[in-house]
Amino acid sequence: MKAVVYHGPGQKAWEDVPNPALRDPTDAVVKVETTTICGTDLHILKGDVPAVTDGRILGHEGVGVVTEVGDACTKVKVGDRVIISCISKCMECDYCRRGLTSHCETLGGIGWIFGHLIDGTQAEYVRVPFADNGLIPLPDGVTAEQGVMLSDILPTGFEIGVQYGQVKDGDVVAVVGVGPVGLAAVMTARSSGAAKVIAVDSNPFRLRAARDFGATDTIEAGPDALKQLKAFGPGGKGVDVAIEAVGIPPTFALCLDAIRPGGRVANVGVHGKPVTLPIDRDWINNITITTGLVNATTAPQLLEDIQARRIAPEKFATHRFTFDQWDQAYDTFSRAADEEALKVVISSEG
């Protein structure tokens, strides 16, 4: 088969590799129909994830058809059309039983293994460990483009942003950074009952997109952003929930500054540098700060929301490519701001 293979920082190739084979009785093999590129893949190509070694097949999102199953698989069967979850999980260890599948102990304390510790989904076929737990049936009427957004991006924004932020009916929610994950938080905050969702970003295209994803208001990032955000809260005291979806110190600080007493900051962004926590100011404010790695356990709920038309994840797909256009797809996604790209979708057929 062919796959996108990592060969060190800045180096990848669509090349011939051996077909995956079943290794454990709980494995399945899936023929990949549709996949996409994540910001994490770009970090890997920059050399930011040293655990990814030369020869690894990239990717952790996908939709496809099951072609082989191990003897211990009881749920998935050959011919099933499925969503491949970005998080693998045994569902037997302590962390999995507690719902923290992203820290599956059987897998060494990390559920994100595709394109990281084992070969991933940017390939014609992929081996899926613990397939009964990591493959989600794709219902009739849900498209591959909708389904592939349930591999990672939509559960990430929903679980780590909206659920961890405890968004409830009537809340005023700020989403700081409306790239794809931030837009996932915007979309699911609205479907979770938020009265107002304010999108903050420096990119005009993303602010326009945020309106289409459910934002009630937008703010251009800059010196006046904090003043504008706080004004949305009752009495100008700040918002109920601020979702950080960038991962840099200034945006984390903006979220902390923008919440009211008793407010919540849900950090979704991936941080590469330390941030400052002004505990001398905030110890008295009864605030909550959460962080997390997606557990990807909400796909069934999100599928119901898609079928009920409460959310429309197909809006993420702005650019489409085929399996012979990987260089163009990566180039487009790496220049997302210039190309006005949200998610690029790569399919085995045009």
Domain containing residue 103: CATH number: 3.90.180.10
Residue 342 has pLDDT above 70, yes or no: yes
- What Å distances lie between residue 232 and 175, 182, 227, 288, CA to CA? 13, 19, 9, 19
CA dihedral for 332, 335, 339, 344, sign (positive or negative):
positive
Rg (CA), the chain: 20
Over residues 128-136, the mean pLDDT reads 98
**Phi/psi of residue 6, nearest 5 degrees:** -80, 135
Q: Which of 55, 35, 69, 27 is nearest to 117 (CA)?
A: 55
**Are the C-beta atoms of 60 and 121 separated by less than 8 Å?**
yes
* pLDDT recorded at residue 349: 81
For residue 111, give the amino acid letter.
G
Tokens of 61: 């999102």
Q: Which of 253, 272, 290 is the last residue of a domain?
A: 290
Residue 7 sits in the same domain as residue 138: yes
Domains contained in the chain, number: 2
Residue 26 has pLDDT above 90, yes or no: yes
Residue whose tokens read 């690029």: 344
Q: Which of 273, 290, 307 is the last residue of a domain?
A: 290
Q: What whole-number distance in Å separates Cα of residue 225 and Cα of residue 138?
A: 41
* pLDDT recorded at residue 11: 97
Residue 162 sits in the same domain as residue 110: no
- What Å distances lie between residue 56 and 53, 102, 113, 322, CA to CA? 6, 21, 11, 21
* pLDDT recorded at residue 210: 98
Query: pLDDT tens digits, residue range 197-234?
Result: 999 999 999 999 999 999 999 999 999 999 999 999 88
Q: What is the CATH classification number for the domain harbouring 196? A: 3.40.50.720
Residue 215 sits in the same domain as residue 261: yes
* pLDDT recorded at residue 61: 98
Q: What is the mean pLDDT of the chain?
A: 96
Residue 227 belongs to what domain range? 155-290
Task: Report the share of the chain in percent with pLDDT over 70.
Answer: 100
The whole model's pTM is what? 0.95
How crowded is residue 191: how many other Cβ atoms within 10 Å of its Cβ?
Answer: 17
Q: Which of 290, 323, 339 is the last residue of a domain?
A: 290
Residue 168 sits in the same domain as residue 81: no
Residue 350 has pLDDT above 90, yes or no: no
DSSP string, 193-237: T-SEEEEEES-HHHHHHHHHHT-SEEEESSTTHHHHHHHTSGGGS
Residue 148 sits in the same domain as residue 192: no
Residue 232 sits in the same domain as residue 144: no
Residue whose tokens read 């926590």: 277
Query: pLDDT tens digits, residue range 62-117?
Result: 999 999 999 999 999 999 999 999 999 999 999 999 999 999 999 999 999 999 99
Residue 114 sits in the same domain as residue 160: no
Residue 132 sits in the same domain as residue 238: no
Query: pLDDT tens digits, residue range 323-333?
Result: 999 999 999 99
Residue 170 sits in the same domain as residue 30: no
* pLDDT recorded at residue 128: 98
How crowded is residue 140: how many other Cβ atoms within 10 Å of its Cβ?
Answer: 7
Query: pLDDT tens digits, residue range 268-294?
Result: 999 889 999 999 999 999 999 999 999
Residue 145 sits in the same domain as residue 178: no
Q: What whole-number distance in Å separates Cα of residue 51 and Cα of residue 70?
A: 28
Q: Which residues of 43-63 are buried (b: 16+ CB within 10 A; e: fewer)?
A: ebbeeebeebeeebbbbbbbb
